[in-house]
A and B are shown apart, each in its own frame.
Chain A
Amino acid sequence: MFLIQIITLSVVCAIFQVLLPGNAVYVVATVSLVFGLIFGQKPFKAFMMGLLGIGLLWGSYAAWLDQMTDSILGVKVAAIFSLPNALILVFVTGLIGGLLGGFAALSGALFRQLVA
């Protein structure tokens, strides 16, 4: 069940990001918050859903793009951030997406608890 929730969040978030280019941060925050609200999980579980749902979405998509292009750009941008390789940048990408998704989903879940 939890796994399905994570996957659903990932897929819906991906669709909205494609539909609303340039608004990644707002899309992730809104979709995650709404999912937290709808599913009404325990706060920790909601946070984990957001963290994993968005983190894996961003991280794996970034990793795939990087892989497809032999890390031609990943390694250069990693260097701009003084990171040793693109893999760490992929991780950072997943992490920031995940944190945003996690806290937004957490907020949704907490809000539902408050209302319920």
Chain B
Amino acid sequence: MKYVKLLLSLAVTAALIFALNNKFGQAPPLGKFLNPFDGFWQNAQNKDHLKSAPADVKLEGLKGKVQVIYDDRLVPHIFAENEEDLYFMQGYVTAQHRLWQMEFQTHAAAGRISEIVGKAAIDFDRGNRRKGMMFGAERAIAQMDTIPLAKMMLTNYAKGVNTYINSLNVKDLPIEYKLLDYQPEEWTPLKTALLLKYMANTLASGDDAIENTNALKLLGRETFDLLFPEYHPEQAPIVPTDGKWKFEPLKVSTPNVQFSDKFYHIMPLPKTEPGVGSNNWVVAGSKTASGNPILCDDPHLTLSLPSIWYEMQLVAPGVNVYGVTLPGAPNIIIGFNNDIAWGVTNAQRDLVDLYAIQYKDGLRNEYLLDGKWEKTIKRIEAIKVRGDKTYYDTVVYTHWGPVAYDATFHQDKQHSDLAMRWIAHDPSLELLTFYYLNRARNYQDYVHALSYYDCPAQNFAFAATNGDIAMHVQGKYPLKWHEQGKFILDGTTSASAWQGYIPDEQNVHILNPKRGYVSSANQHPSDTLYPYYVHATNFEYYRNRRINRLLDSMKSITPQMMMEMQNDNYNLKAAESLPYFLSQIDVNSLNTQQKAAYQLLQKWDFYNHADIEAPSYYEAWWDKLIPLVWDELTSNSIPYKRPDAFTTIKLLQTKPQHPIFDNKATAEVETAKEIIIKAFLQGIDSVNTWKQQNDNKMPLWADYKSTSIQHLARLAPFSVNNVRNGGNHNIVNATSERHGPSWRMVVELDKKGVRGWGIYPGGQSGNPGSPYYANMIENWRDGKHYELLFMQTPTQTAKNILFQQSFSN
């Protein structure tokens, strides 16, 4: 009996040890996770934790002394005696606050999320590997390794990150590692390259060749061109053509190749989302109250926590720069120094082309090119899967690039082998752009810095204290004949290839325009007189025109006015569509509630403010209208894309009788009018449904829209939900449900001292247990900016300095 008792007790103890040390399903190992000595409770911090950081720290690998001064938002101001130490400390400090994010994002880029979360992520991982993200990163690093300057930044940054990783106590491991039960690995320069590919994927992976090929097949050329025009004359491009471009364009010959003429039943890979975009503009001294140029930038990205940006000041001999960094990459990405400021928006351009491949046989060892069989290279992707066996995926590489889509991936009915040519596969040196921009003193320096910049293509706004303002639509842009890459290309002939690249000096750009400002908001780079073919999956038509109208009308501009403008909620799309929509409705046919909504909209001033109801009714109407109008382009097995908002509104107004407005699902023949009325009634229904689900609350726009800032691993309690803000897509304040201004910056280029204001929706710490995790969200929501502490010396006093640390070997 005694034996039995003992054995039972030991068995229970052993079972507890096992259960508490291991992960079950989604649950972390409870003993490791909950024990207060090194489990998650240790990740909780208060403001005193930070202030008690040691004043002097020894770090092996530093050459000299580095001082890091933290201001009251936990922005580090790093003062180093040499550049090696500067990048070492950038890596160290960033890892201190954002280690888990840095690693998670690069794991995502490398297609390694299944390693952490299990088989649910296999498709995601396969997609990123089939896109050749790692292939691109490896080629980028091979190139960067040949440039001593790039190598210096990468290796010192990595050293700093690794020094931090190696100094980590179990208890200080970021909570996500504890929750998901894994360990950080060594940081390498390749991971920095992967992060840049991650950004390229976020910003420059837009492609609509599959959708366009299907739409052309379905609609025929005439309707296709009507629905998907390359350009509307109402557009306000980034650089309007004043007469002719003063350069001799390179010749692009149009080969006699046929576009693919069949339906593709392929589920396209995730790509740049429509909510991803940005605004930037610069006003020249002639338009400002002080006579100094003012630069403004707000990149719109998926709103996430930890935030995509980490704010920082970097100072060393030859450089003093302030701005935001991407955790995982050296240098300031958007910012200013004592002489210049720069900010970016995404340059819309089709930089992904798909080529239909013809294999010799099922072995996929050879493919047809110009009548000959060329050898393929196979890359076996071993995707480690947590709690399961490794998943092997063979990706075939042709000279075009990886065959992203084939019989094993994202297809059902038929199968097509499509190789992907993506600019992000090419070796490139963007790091040098940021190195030189951080140190640039004038327009020439800026142009030199941009000469290293390939991908993701960006509209670089520029301003200098000497009064210069500029905009360069910079990237590596393939020379394309008309419509090359808009549809799936024939991969059996080299005539389908890109014929070279647009020379940098022929990229769209402008210096000191007469109108006294430059601006960009993801619209067309230039008008149709620009001598090169420009295509993209989507172009903005509203934010840009609103920005230009405001800037045209403004005089004696102050930084405060610019900050307010970044929060402008005017819905130009509504202003251009709602009066027409309302005119289609017969008020007498409406019931009381519908009439009330109608009147609300009639009185609306088109501002998507947070605390009014009208925008909810308009947006609900719009959301119902689009699927009704474009019912032809909805299919479960064949992907299509819908025409953009501007084209849709224009067609509704100018061709209301067009057969495309007839809803095929109904017996009667509809025109634009019937569709608009139907959408109005359905829109009111969706607002009513929302009310029922929300305790009959008033459908105020902020609540109806409900912006959420989600944790990167989608952990709901680490997310911040219902951030009450106005705006929406196509509005200068581009805050939609999941996307929005990820960093708002305003910089006045005053010769007596450059001043900056900025804010982002998050906090400097990536730790959900830190008071600095989401501390800036409220002010961001309220449209406020912080005045940025741009220090000139480490001994400078300022009332908002929190604490400082000094590091040496």
List residues of A whose CB falls within 8 A of some B CB. Answer: 14, 17-18, 21-22, 24-26, 28-29, 33, 43, 58, 61-62, 65-66, 68-77, 79-81, 89, 92-93, 96-97, 99-100, 103-104, 106-107, 110-111, 113-114
Chain B contact residues: helix, strand, loop or mixed: helix
Which residues of chain A come closer than 8 Å to B9, judged between CB atoms? 103, 106-107, 110
Contact B769 A93 (CB under 8 A): no
Which residues of chain A come closer than 8 Å to B6, judged between CB atoms? 107, 110-111, 114
Contact of A72 among B13, B21, B770 (CB under 8 A): B770
Cα–Cα distance between A40 and B426 once the two chains are bound (Å): 72
Contact A76 B717 (CB under 8 A): yes
Contact of B46 among A28, A68, A79, A89 (CB under 8 A): A68
Q: Which single residue of chain A is at the shortest CB-CB distance from B179? A: A80
B783 within 8 A of partner (CB)? no
Which residues of chain A come closer than 8 Å to B716, judged between CB atoms? 79-80
Q: Which single residue of chain A is at the shortest CB-CB distance from B46? A: A69
Across chains A and B, which 6 residue pairs bring their CB atoms closest together, nearest first?
A73-B769, A79-B717, A24-B35, A69-B44, A73-B44, A25-B31
B39 within 8 A of partner (CB)? yes
Assuming the A-B contacts A65-B36, A76-B718, A110-B9, are A25 and B17 also in contact, with contact meaning beta carbons closer than 8 angstroms in the complex? yes
Assuming the A-B contacts A25-B20, A65-B44, are A104 and B13 also in contact, with contact meaning beta carbons closer than 8 angstroms in the complex? yes
Assuming the A-B contacts A72-B770, A73-B769, A107-B6, are A22 and B38 also in contact, with contact meaning beta carbons closer than 8 angstroms in the complex? yes
With A24-B35, A43-B5, A74-B44 given, name 11 new contacts (CB 8 A).
A17-B35, A17-B38, A24-B31, A29-B17, A61-B37, A72-B45, A80-B717, A96-B16, A100-B16, A106-B9, A110-B2
Q: Can you sample 14 A-B contacts with CB below 8 Å? A: A25-B20, A26-B17, A58-B35, A61-B37, A62-B36, A62-B41, A72-B45, A73-B44, A77-B40, A77-B717, A97-B31, A100-B20, A111-B6, A114-B2
Contact B21 A25 (CB under 8 A): yes
Contact of A21 among B17, B38, B179, B768 (CB under 8 A): B38
Binary per-residue interface labels of chain B (3-23) against chain A in the complex, 1 for a CB within 8 Å, 0 otherwise: 101100110110011001100
How many A-B residue pairs have C-beta atoms within 8 angstroms? Tell me: 128
Closest CB in chain A relative to B718 CB, distance in Å: 6
Closest CB in chain B relative to A13 CB, distance in Å: 9
Which residues of chain B come closer than 8 Å to A58, judged between CB atoms? 34-36
Contact B44 A72 (CB under 8 A): yes
Contact B170 A21 (CB under 8 A): yes
Cα–Cα distance between A18 and B39 once the two chains are bound (Å): 12
B30 within 8 A of partner (CB)? yes
Contact B769 A103 (CB under 8 A): no
Interface-central residue, A71, A110, A114, by most chain B CB under 10 Å: A110
Which residues of chain A come closer than 8 Å to B37, judged between CB atoms? 14, 17-18, 21, 24, 61
Closest CB in chain A relative to B315 CB, distance in Å: 32
Which residues of chain A come closer than 8 Å to B36, judged between CB atoms? 58, 61-62, 65, 93
Interface size in chain B (residues, C-beta < 8 A): 42
Assuming the A-B contacts A99-B16, A100-B16, are A66 and B41 also in contact, with contact meaning beta carbons closer than 8 angstroms in the complex? yes
Which residues of chain B come closer than 8 Å to A28, judged between CB atoms? 31, 35
Q: Which single residue of chain B is at the shortest CB-CB distance from A64? A: B36
Assuming the A-B contacts A65-B44, A74-B44, are A21 and B171 also in contact, with contact meaning beta carbons closer than 8 angstroms in the complex? yes
Which residues of chain A come closer than 8 Å to B5, judged between CB atoms? 43, 110
Closest CB in chain A relative to B36 CB, distance in Å: 4
Chain A contact residues: helix, strand, loop or mixed: helix
Cα–Cα distance between A93 and B34 once the two chains are bound (Å): 6
B169 within 8 A of partner (CB)? yes
Closest CB in chain B relative to A30 CB, distance in Å: 10
Contact B13 A103 (CB under 8 A): yes
B42 within 8 A of partner (CB)? yes
Which residues of chain A come closer than 8 Å to B2, judged between CB atoms? 110, 113-114
Closest CB in chain B relative to A4 CB, distance in Å: 22
B32 within 8 A of partner (CB)? yes
Contact A107 B31 (CB under 8 A): no
* Interface positions of B from 44 to 90, Cβ below 8 Å from A: 44-46
B175 within 8 A of partner (CB)? yes
Closest CB in chain B relative to A29 CB, distance in Å: 5
Q: Which single residue of chain B is at the shortest CB-CB distance from A30? A: B17
Cα–Cα distance between A80 and B769 once the two chains are bound (Å): 14
Which residues of chain B come closer than 8 Å to A65, judged between CB atoms? 36, 41-42, 44
Cα–Cα distance between A26 and B37 once the two chains are bound (Å): 13
Interface-central residue, B6, B36, B46, by most chain A CB under 10 Å: B36
* Interface positions of B from 665 to 683, Cβ below 8 Å from A: none
B798 within 8 A of partner (CB)? no
Which residues of chain A come closer than 8 Å to B42, judged between CB atoms? 65
B771 within 8 A of partner (CB)? yes
Which residues of chain B come closer than 8 Å to A100, judged between CB atoms? 13, 16-17, 20, 31
Cα–Cα distance between A103 and B6 once the two chains are bound (Å): 10
Closest CB in chain B relative to A54 CB, distance in Å: 10
Cα–Cα distance between A79 and B717 once the two chains are bound (Å): 6
B257 within 8 A of partner (CB)? no
Assuming the A-B contacts A25-B32, A65-B36, A72-B771, are A103 and B16 also in contact, with contact meaning beta carbons closer than 8 angstroms in the complex? yes
Q: Which single residue of chain A is at the shortest CB-CB distance from B28? A: A80
Which residues of chain A come closer than 8 Å to B39, judged between CB atoms? 24, 93
* Interface positions of B from 489 to 541, Cβ below 8 Å from A: none
Assuming the A-B contacts A29-B17, A114-B2, are A74 and B41 also in contact, with contact meaning beta carbons closer than 8 angstroms in the complex? yes
